[in-house]
Chain A
Amino acid sequence: MTDKPNKAAPGDTSPSELTARLAQIRAQLAATAGPELAVTAHEIFCLVLALCRGHENPADPRFAAIVMAAAHAANGRDAIAFVPGFPPGRLTIQPEEAEAGTDASWPEGIGNLCRQLALSLTHAGNTSGGREQLAYLEAAQCARSVSDLLSGHALSG
């Protein structure tokens, strides 16, 4: 009755690679605005989904949080794809290959990234209107949920 250890999936990312990638994405996120923000947010949600799927190990004490974070990441990805004017060619709804093999602190890194993403999306939502605002704010809520789940912040029921 023991759970199997996390198996390495294709497309493993080493800790340093992921850290560098996250730093690059954060810088990109800080620099983007307008329609490009939607594309960057979409890419971030896809990355989070792939990372979560690659780390769904029942033996991990964070198993439940990671499973739920994956659901919120997929919801965020869908929400941002409905921003009017989102380039259809950038839609990558088929998830990337699960990413595994990163260091144990990846949830904190992703949690922080998603917190920053939530702020950017909220700002974009508050400065737009109509369906665009709805999509941005919906995606911001998803980013917040991922951040809370992966950072270990308890949510209200």
Chain B
Amino acid sequence: MISGQRARFGQLLDAGAAALEQPAGPRDPGGEDLQQACIALRKVIAVMTRYLRDEPWNPALSSKPASRPASPWDLARTDARRALFQASAWLTVGAPREPPHRRDPSWLASRLDSAALALAAGHDLLQTHFTRSAAGSRHARTEWAQVLASPAAEHAMLAEIGQLSSRLAVHGARAATRPGWRASPDSRQRLNAACQTLWGLSASVRAADDSEPLPGQVTELLRSIPPSLLPPRAAPERTESVTDLCAGATLAAERSRRAAWRSGPEASWSPAMSTASLRLLAGSSVVISHNNHVLLTALGNAQLPNTQGELHAQLVAAADATAKMRAAWLNAAHALDPFTADTRSQIGPMAASASDLALWTGRLAYDDPDWHPAQGPAADHRSSEQLAATPETVRRTINAVHHASYALEFLATAQHRQMQAASASGRILVPTHTVPDTWDIPCPFAAAPAERIDHLLDAYTDARHASVEATAKVASVAEATGAHSTVLQTAAALTDDVAKMKISTDRSSDRKRLAAIHHVDAGPVERILRDLEISDRDLLSRAADVDRIGHQLILDAAERQTPGYQRAVRNISSNVGTAATINRVLPAATASQAAALQTRDEHLIEPDPEH
């Protein structure tokens, strides 16, 4: 059984709004108690204040833009916070200290209490994507946190708060100004003033929206945010329908995204960053791409109801882009072949989730309830008729394909990041005999040189670009078919700049670090300091001086050798360490110095100088 239906933030917002619109129950013949409604309204305002109290810019989540003039949305936010504070004050100042007896609460208070409860649940749902440090600062716990921390999401939240304020104001003002309520004139005035403030809030938000219109997709994205907790991992059974398989694949894709998002610096030490993990992930990504290609091709061949030629062309383009994504991931898998790592067999969460996703998309793509990558040639593709039985199955299939493709973007980015961290720690290995002779490493494997790691990183960069391209093509199909996954494209647009920035800067700094550690021109003393990860410029400079003095000493000694002198050691370069030093000295040596230092082979007959 697939639990694909999870609560979304928008559902809780709607529940709050719906609570306000419930039909009124039987009225109290003696009149409703207005004070109860005031207290309930204050609760709702308190929850709304919590929505706006969370810091909009968190350096841990996204970079704060340089100082800029306040935008209409900045002003609206300031107005909203002030308005909520003011409205709460109107409802508090002068109110009786003792709350009225709630044995028979007013119908409006009941509605407001329900709304406050739904809104508080919504706020809690969003907060599950963050965590707080002991010092109180807010940090991202999931990939959705970056979306929530984006200015656009904050504007969408303001817009929701504005709409809610307007609704509250209507109900509150009606109670304050109409007969049938038990209240003092002062209470009525205070409630009315609070409602006018809420209308002011709503007007500020509308003004911001008029000035800088909020794209509808952002609101849709905000409303579609689920809680952070994912349902437990589940393997497909044999009984799933196409709808169940789509839900399972979507969930597996979400799990992959989460695992990819959480991965990173731990690759420098974690045993889960193993060759088995790297290869399983790359192989699974090829299979996922392949399954996506099979599904898109099947849909492209289907006689879709009300099909426009444009949709068919979009499906063909998406299938082609997915084939390129498959080729790019296959290239990444090949690029891994010459490497190994210091841990081999442990499977990390990212590789495990990618393997699950390969299985779910395979069960959807093939008409065999037992499909597995180990399946022989017997498995047939699922028919176009099954996938396109109804517009809803088309939407769900595209939704699953879109989620899977988007997950591959995350996986490629995360693999790139992991590879950088692991190689910077010297965990990516190659056989010692394949590295430059100047490296004196007395074991079968050595840290891979930076230029070879670059080749691997390039393969992952290509896989990411191909995944981004394919996801964009699938997104256009999702839009054309009305699949819910269109929100993914909005999420990508809100967070992509930050992700790109991380890749480019991390890579250049890691490359420099690798080059610094494995400086091929460094002498033995300098290399020891670099291996100790000494970065002090003065110490490195002194080490280089010591090496230079040593080299000069060797040259001077070679110069003083008597011509024709037969030294006891035939080959002073027989030791790898000595050879490296001699090789470094030779380019600066004179002919006589070079002759004294080079290897002598007694089997060679030296030419007679007379002839």
Our verdict on whether A and B bind, yes or no, reads yes
Question: Which positions in A face B, CB cutoff 8 Å?
Answer: 1, 3, 49, 53, 56, 58, 60-65, 67-68, 70-72, 74-75, 78-79, 81-82, 86, 88-89, 91, 93-95, 138, 141, 148-149, 152-155, 157
A93 contact from B293, B296, B323, B338, Cβ within 8 A: B338
Task: Give A68 to B333 CA distance when docked, in angstroms.
Answer: 10
A93 lies within 8 A of B430 (CB): yes
Contacts of A89 in B (CB 8 A): 433
A91 lies within 8 A of B362 (CB): no
B498 on the A face (CB < 8 A): no
B434 lies within 8 A of A68 (CB): no
B290 lies within 8 A of A75 (CB): no
**Which residue on A lies nearest to B286, using beta carbons?**
A67
Question: How many residues belonging to B are interface residues under a CB distance threshold of 8 Å?
Answer: 50
B433 lies within 8 A of A71 (CB): no
Residues 312-367 of B contacting A (Cβ, < 8 Å): 316, 319-320, 323, 326, 330, 333-334, 336-340, 344-345, 358-359, 362
Contacts A/B (CB < 8 Å), 14 sampled: A58-B293, A64-B287, A64-B290, A64-B375, A67-B286, A67-B373, A68-B283, A72-B279, A81-B340, A88-B433, A93-B430, A95-B337, A141-B345, A149-B373
B297 contact from A1, A49, A65, A141, Cβ within 8 A: A1
Task: Give A72 to B279 CA distance when docked, in angstroms.
Answer: 8
B326 lies within 8 A of A78 (CB): no
Task: Give A89 to B434 CA distance when docked, in angstroms.
Answer: 10
B431 lies within 8 A of A61 (CB): no
Closest 9 CB pairs of A and B: A152-B376, A71-B279, A61-B377, A64-B373, A71-B283, A78-B340, A91-B431, A88-B444, A157-B235
**Which residue on A lies nearest to B444, using beta carbons?**
A88
Task: List 8 extra interface pairs beyond A64-B375, A89-B433, A152-B376, CB under 8 A.
Answer: A1-B320, A53-B334, A64-B362, A67-B373, A72-B279, A81-B431, A81-B444, A155-B372
Q: A1-B300, A74-B279, A93-B434 are in contact. Are A58 and B373 (CB under 8 A)?
A: no
Task: Give A33 to B331 CA distance when docked, in angstroms.
Answer: 36
A67 lies within 8 A of B336 (CB): no
Total A-B Cβ pairs within 8 A: 117
Task: Give A136 to B358 CA distance when docked, in angstroms.
Answer: 29
Whole-angstrom distance between the Cβ of B406 and the nearest chain A Cβ? 21
Contacts of A82 in B (CB 8 A): 344
B340 lies within 8 A of A93 (CB): yes
B418 on the A face (CB < 8 A): no
Contacts of B445 in A (CB 8 A): 81
Task: Give A3 to B294 CA distance when docked, in angstroms.
Answer: 11
Q: A70-B283, A81-B444, A88-B431 are in contact. Are A94 and B338 (CB under 8 A)?
A: yes
A62 contact from B275, B286, B338, B377, Cβ within 8 A: B377
Contacts of B330 in A (CB 8 A): 56, 67
Q: A74-B279, A94-B338, A95-B338 are in contact. Are A79 and B345 (CB under 8 A)?
A: yes
Task: Give A74 to B274 CA distance when docked, in angstroms.
Answer: 12
Contacts of B372 in A (CB 8 A): 154-155, 157
B290 lies within 8 A of A58 (CB): yes
Task: Give A106 to B374 CA distance when docked, in angstroms.
Answer: 15
Task: Give A62 to B373 CA distance when docked, in angstroms.
Answer: 8
B337 lies within 8 A of A91 (CB): no
Q: A65-B374, A71-B283, A154-B370 are in contact. Are A138 and B337 (CB under 8 A)?
A: no
B596 on the A face (CB < 8 A): no
B282 on the A face (CB < 8 A): yes
B377 lies within 8 A of A58 (CB): no
Whole-angstrom distance between the Cβ of A75 and the nearest chain B Cβ? 5
B276 on the A face (CB < 8 A): yes
Contacts of B338 in A (CB 8 A): 93-95
Residues 405-441 of B contacting A (Cβ, < 8 Å): 430-434
Whole-angstrom distance between the Cβ of A100 and the nearest chain B Cβ? 14
B379 on the A face (CB < 8 A): yes
Contacts of A67 in B (CB 8 A): 283, 286-287, 330, 333, 373
Task: Give A79 to B340 CA distance when docked, in angstroms.
Answer: 9
B374 lies within 8 A of A154 (CB): yes
**Which residue on B lies nearest to A141, using beta carbons?**
B345
A78 lies within 8 A of B287 (CB): no
B434 lies within 8 A of A94 (CB): yes
Whole-angstrom distance between the Cβ of A68 and the nearest chain B Cβ? 5
Contacts of A74 in B (CB 8 A): 275, 279, 336-337
Whole-angstrom distance between the Cβ of A35 and the nearest chain B Cβ? 14
A58 contact from B279, B326, B362, Cβ within 8 A: B326
B280 on the A face (CB < 8 A): yes
Contacts of B340 in A (CB 8 A): 78, 81, 93
Contacts of A63 in B (CB 8 A): 290
**Which residue on A lies nearest to B359, using beta carbons?**
A157
A68 lies within 8 A of B444 (CB): no
Whole-angstrom distance between the Cβ of A70 and the nearest chain B Cβ? 7
Contacts of A148 in B (CB 8 A): 374
B379 contact from A61, A68, A138, Cβ within 8 A: A61
Task: Give A62 to B339 CA distance when docked, in angstroms.
Answer: 26
Whole-angstrom distance between the Cβ of A41 and the nearest chain B Cβ? 15
A78 contact from B275, B373, B379, Cβ within 8 A: B275
B282 lies within 8 A of A71 (CB): yes
Task: Give A67 to B235 CA distance when docked, in angstroms.
Answer: 21
Whole-angstrom distance between the Cβ of A14 and the nearest chain B Cβ? 22
Interface string of B264-284 (1 = CB under 8 A from A): 000000000001100110111
Contacts of B337 in A (CB 8 A): 49, 53, 74, 93-95
Contacts of B358 in A (CB 8 A): 64
B444 lies within 8 A of A86 (CB): yes
Task: Give A62 to B279 CA distance when docked, in angstroms.
Answer: 18
Contacts of B276 in A (CB 8 A): 75
**Which residue on B lies nearest to A75, using beta carbons?**
B276
B431 contact from A79, A93, A95, Cβ within 8 A: A93
Contacts of A79 in B (CB 8 A): 344-345
Contacts of B430 in A (CB 8 A): 93
